[in-house]
């Protein structure tokens, strides 16, 4: 069956989030994903100008129970309710399901609510807290970061990219973060600091890893028609797509590029634009090599060229393709793609203050992981 064209038929009409910087400063075991999600929901509702009674769809992520969340938010009979597993790849997917729901009329207005108390709860993403993996743990292999380290090591070998290419990216994202009052890490970074930082899993250093934090984000999605009645300028979903890369390990010898190509082909074709039309990109940076592999996988630059391509200010403030304009997961806060979505919306509305990209009309979100997803959003 042919893909139904939903270009510009759905929109994000509200975004909200908790503070990130303040929450990072002090852990608090009483904090939980429900209260963080609720705070973000209230803020997104206010931002949209809608009232609670307008919300008839709820999708939650990383919050354990939709019933409890909906009880707390006083949403008793939503026509659509669902939960996505607590993985960062699900932020883009939640938005897709919300868009499909409002387009088909399964719901009129969907609130996508995310809450994460991982910082206060002491979340780790590797080691013995995870379920035993007989083919990896006995060798000390654990964590998705180590898989990205394997892929980056191989990429350096195959293409001649280098460790300091990642430094260029880290420094650029930090420049944006220095202009973001809500970013956790705002002090500018130098290449010397980057290169002398400790390794977590060689060849990756601490600056290549996202900042685990507490926080909440909420997006409110409705139809393009309904969006016109909302308080702020709608942000339309021009195109969206996903394709999985299900392999035995988090790393794969083709870097996940076959899945990225499937996503890129569909998202660009649905939106009717290409990489050259993108004014800024929000690219999932659980670990910085993910951004490099994505730039190559989506055709922003040829395979193996990302290291050279990002140099000379191209991805920095004022550059040709500003990337991760909030500072991203490695400098703003690890909100598993959700805060990258909020940043995309705010850039398109022109709400980003010092870090605002001039004449920002089209933004792309990209997440490369075991499920790859991408959207192209416009104002």
Partner 1 sequence: MTQYTKPLPIPNDFDRPYWTALKKHELRMQKCLDCGEIWFPPNPVCPKCLSHNHQWIKLSGKGKVWSWVLFHQLYFPSFSEETPYNVIAVKLDEGPLMTSNMVECNNEDIYCDMLVEVFFDDVTELITLPKFRPAGRPKEV
Residues that bind partner 1 (CB under 8 A): 124, 126-128, 132, 134-143, 146, 149-151, 153-154, 157-158, 198-204, 248-249, 251, 253
- To partner 1, the closest distance from the beta carbon of 210 in angstroms equals 14
**Measured from the CB of residue 349, what is the shortest distance to partner 1 in angstroms?**
39
Task: For partner 1, give the closer residue by CB, 202 or 272.
Answer: 202
Query: In this structure, what token pair is assigned to residue 37?
Result: 């999600």
Of 146 and 237, CB closest to partner 1? 146
In this structure, what DSSP letter does residue 304 have? T
| Closest listed residue to residue 96, CA positions, set 224, 276, 239 | 239
Q: What's the min distance (Å) between Cβ of 164 and partner 1?
A: 18
Order of strands across the sheet that contains 235-244: 80-84, 57-61, 109-116, 215-223, 10-17, 235-244, 371-378, 362-367, 280-283
CB of 355 to partner 1, least distance (A): 31
If the CB atoms of residues 66 and 137 are measured against partner 1, the closer one turns out to be 137
Please name the residues in contact with 301: beta carbons below 8 A apart, sequence gap of 6 or more: 295, 308, 309
Q: State the catalytic residue, choosing from 255, 284, 298, 365.
A: 284
Nearer Cβ to partner 1 (201/342): 201
**Residue 326 in tokens:** 């909030």
**CA–CA separation, 368 vs 26, rounded Å?**
31
Q: How far is the CB of 137 from partner 1 (least distance, A)?
A: 4
Q: Kindly state the tokens that stand for 228.
A: 């016109």
Q: Considering the complex, what minimum distance in angstroms separates the CB of residue 198 from partner 1?
A: 7
334 is catalytic: yes
Neighbours of 319 (CB within 10 A): 15
Say what angle helices 288-297 and 144-159 make with each other, to 10 degrees.
Answer: 50
Q: Is the peptide bond before 228 cis (omega within 30 degrees of 0)?
A: no
What are phi and psi for residue 41, nearest 5 degrees?
A: -60, -45
What DSSP string describes 234-272? -EEEEEEEEEE---SSS--TTTTHHHHHHHHHHHHHHHT
Q: Which is catalytic among the residues 114, 207, 236, 334?
A: 334
As a whole number of angstroms, the distance between CA 12 and CA 109 comes to 10
Compare residues 65 and 124 and give the one whose CB is closer to partner 1: 124
Residue 255 is a catalytic residue: no
Q: Which is nearer to partner 1, 128 or 359 (CB)?
A: 128
Instruction: Please list the active-site residues.
Output: 284, 334
């Amino acid at each position: 069956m042919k893909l139904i064209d939903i270009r510009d038929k759905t929109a994000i009409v509200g975004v909200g989030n908790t503070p990130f910087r303040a929450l990072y400063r002090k852990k608090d075991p009483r904090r939980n994903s429900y209260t963080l999600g609720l705070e973000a929901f209230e803020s997104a509702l206010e931002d949209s100008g809608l009232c609670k009674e307008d919300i008839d769809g709820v999708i939650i992520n990383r919050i354990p129970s939709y019933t409890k969340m909906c009880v707390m938010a006083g949403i008793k009979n939503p026509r659509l309710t669902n939960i996505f597993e607590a993985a960062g790849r699900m932020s883009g997917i939640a938005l897709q399901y919300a868009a499909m729901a409002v387009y088909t009329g399964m719901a009129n207005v969907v609130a996508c609510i995310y809450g994460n108390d991982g910082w206060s709860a002491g979340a780790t993403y590797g080691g013995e807290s995870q379920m035993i993996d007989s083919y990896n743990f006995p060798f000390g292999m654990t964590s998705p970061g180590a898989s990205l380290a394997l892929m980056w090591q191989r990429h350096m070998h195959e293409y001649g990219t280098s460790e300091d290419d990642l430094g260029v990216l880290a420094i650029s994202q930090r420049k944006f973060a220095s202009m973001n009052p809500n970013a956790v890490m705002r002090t500018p970074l130098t290449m010397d600091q980057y290169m002398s930082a400790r390794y977590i899993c060689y060849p990756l250093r601490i600056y290549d890893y996202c900042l685990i934090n507490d926080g909440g984000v909420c997006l409110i999605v409705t139809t393009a028609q309904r969006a016109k009645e909302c308080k702020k300028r709608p942000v339309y979903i021009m195109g969206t797509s996903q394709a999985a890369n299900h392999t035995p390990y988090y790393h794969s010898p083709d870097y996940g590029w076959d899945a990225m190509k499937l996503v890129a082909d569909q998202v660009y074709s649905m939106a009717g634009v290409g990489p050259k039309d993108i004014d800024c990109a929000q690219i999932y940076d659980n670990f910085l090599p993910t951004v490099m592999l994505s730039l190559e996988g989506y055709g922003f630059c040829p395979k193996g060229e990302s290291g050279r391509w990002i140099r000379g200010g191209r991805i920095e403030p004022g550059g040709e393709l500003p990337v991760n304009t909030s500072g991203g997961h490695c400098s703003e806060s690890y909100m598993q793609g959700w805060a990258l979505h909020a940043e995309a919306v705010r850039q398109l509305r022109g709400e980003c203050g010092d870090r605002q990209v001039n004449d920002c009309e089209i933004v792309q979100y990209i997440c490369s992981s075991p499920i790859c997803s991408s959207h192209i959003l416009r104002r």
